[in-house]
């Protein structure tokens, strides 16, 4: 399972929409994340708290829906 770190640039996909963002805060073990982005995603305005379960599935904390994260290459 990947451990996400504070400050990482990410691609966030939620409810079929993909935006670029940043891991604003990450717990030491990477299971609690606070994502930041410049968009509206499923009712979230610019920030979204998520958790990573034991199987590595990332879910938003309000609706328990899956969130896909991938690293974003920054040039």
Name the residue range of residue 47's domain: 9-71
Dihedral sign for Cα atoms in the order 11, 14, 18, 24? negative
Q: Residues 26-70: pLDDT tens digits?
A: 999 999 999 999 999 999 999 999 999 999 999 999 999 999 999
52 inside domain: yes
Average pLDDT over residues 18-25: 98
30 inside domain: yes
37 inside domain: yes
1 inside domain: no
Looking at the structure of the chain, the number of domains it has is: 1
pTM of the model: 0.93
User: Which band of pLDDT confidence, cut at 50, 70 and 90, is reported for residue 75?
Assistant: low
36 inside domain: yes
24 inside domain: yes
Nearest-angstrom CA–CA distance, 74 and 55: 28
Q: What is the pLDDT of residue 73?
A: 83
């Amino acid at each position: 399972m990947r451990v996400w770190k504070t400050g990482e640039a990410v691609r966030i996909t939620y409810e079929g929409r993909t935006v670029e963002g940043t891991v604003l805060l990450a717990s030491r073990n990477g299971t609690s994340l606070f994502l930041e982005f410049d968009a509206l995603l499923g009712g979230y305005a610019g920030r979204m708290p998520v958790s990573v379960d034991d199987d590595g599935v990332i879910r938003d904390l309000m609706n328990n829906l899956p969130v896909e994260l991938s690293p974003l290459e920054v040039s």
